[in-house]
Structure 1
């Protein structure tokens, strides 16, 4: 059987998903036809059954590819500083680092102190940050750097892992 790198599998999974959506649209076109009452139905190039057969084949390939990718992401590790972690954990960590960086950027862009609209003419309300915005701005940069480094490690290993999958029908 042909082999496919994990990096190519990520792209192929997207291709298969798109193909499933296209076939679902084709199912809708093949399932209904408008004709004058009593008229003979015109011959269709592809029947609903033809399209259903194709979509089932693509879905089966999608499930197999998904399973192989999950197995590879669990069985293969990335060396991250001093720890070796499964790819699946590294992917989640990169996602979490990006989310943390987004929040830190938000705090890093906040003013240290700002006046808040008050309903009273005699009382001034000030919204004061309980943190140093500059500290969070710098922290966001570091978190984003770590997430990018981790993503690069994931991408690099994805090209070295091969899956037993025949992608000839799609690539």
Structure 2
């Protein structure tokens, strides 16, 4: 029985989800046959119950892997900006930093002032930014850098955490 790292578990979870989807499609294929009325049933490579059994085994492994990953993400921490964060919190913080950076990029790409056409009768209307777009562009770059640094810390930690899961039948 071989264990696997949390980083490998993330990949394996994706592999298992894909395999479950493939088996669901196989269930649809083997569940019905088209044949002439009164003729003998055609021979199938696998029966519906065999496919069901395989999918149930994989779903059980998927649940176990999910539980082990959640536990590891909660119990293990990474250092970031002078504080210790649980991996689950670090993942969420990286997501939030990226979302904030995306919004700041929008502000950073804005014009400081632009004329709005189609308003008023001969009176020019100006749309003026109430902030400095360059400051927001710089803030966006810094936020992305922080998010990447945090993600790298999580990835590094994920390779050091070993889960007690038998991955031999999948890898």
Q: Which TM-score band (shorter chain)?
A: over 0.9
What is the CA RMSD across the aligned residues, in angstroms?
A: 1.0
Match of 2:162 in 1: 162
Match of 2:88 in 1: 88
Partner-residue secondary structure (3-state), 2:130: coil
Partner-residue secondary structure (3-state), 2:4: strand
Match of 1:149 in 2: 149
- Offset at 1:46? 0.5
Could you tell me how far apart the structure 1 residues matched to 2:37 and 2:123 are? Answer: 77
Partner-residue secondary structure (3-state), 2:9: helix
Match of 1:51 in 2: 51
- Offset at 1:120? 3.6
Contact 1:118 1:124 in 2 (8 A): no
Could you tell me how far apart the structure 1 residues matched to 2:158 and 2:148 are? Answer: 15
Could you tell me how far apart the structure 2 residues matched to 1:143 and 1:157 are? Answer: 21
TM-score when scaled to structure 1?
A: 0.97
TM-score when scaled to structure 2?
A: 0.97
1:3-45 per-position Cα deviation (integer Å, ceiling 9, x unaligned):
1100000000000000000000001001111112222210111
Contact 2:119 2:125 in 1 (8 A): no
Match of 1:136 in 2: 136
Aligned length: 171
Structure 1: give runs of 5+ residues left out of the alignment. none
Could you tell me how far apart the structure 1 residues matched to 2:91 and 2:97 are? Answer: 10
Partner-residue secondary structure (3-state), 1:130: coil
Q: How does 1:18-29 map to 2 (within 5 A)?
A: 18-29=18-29
Partner-residue secondary structure (3-state), 2:79: strand
Match of 1:74 in 2: 74
Match of 1:8 in 2: 8
Contact 1:6 1:162 in 2 (8 A): yes
- Offset at 1:119? 4.4
Could you tell me how far apart the structure 1 residues matched to 2:26 and 2:48 are? Answer: 8
- Offset at 1:125? 1.6
Contact 2:114 2:128 in 1 (8 A): yes
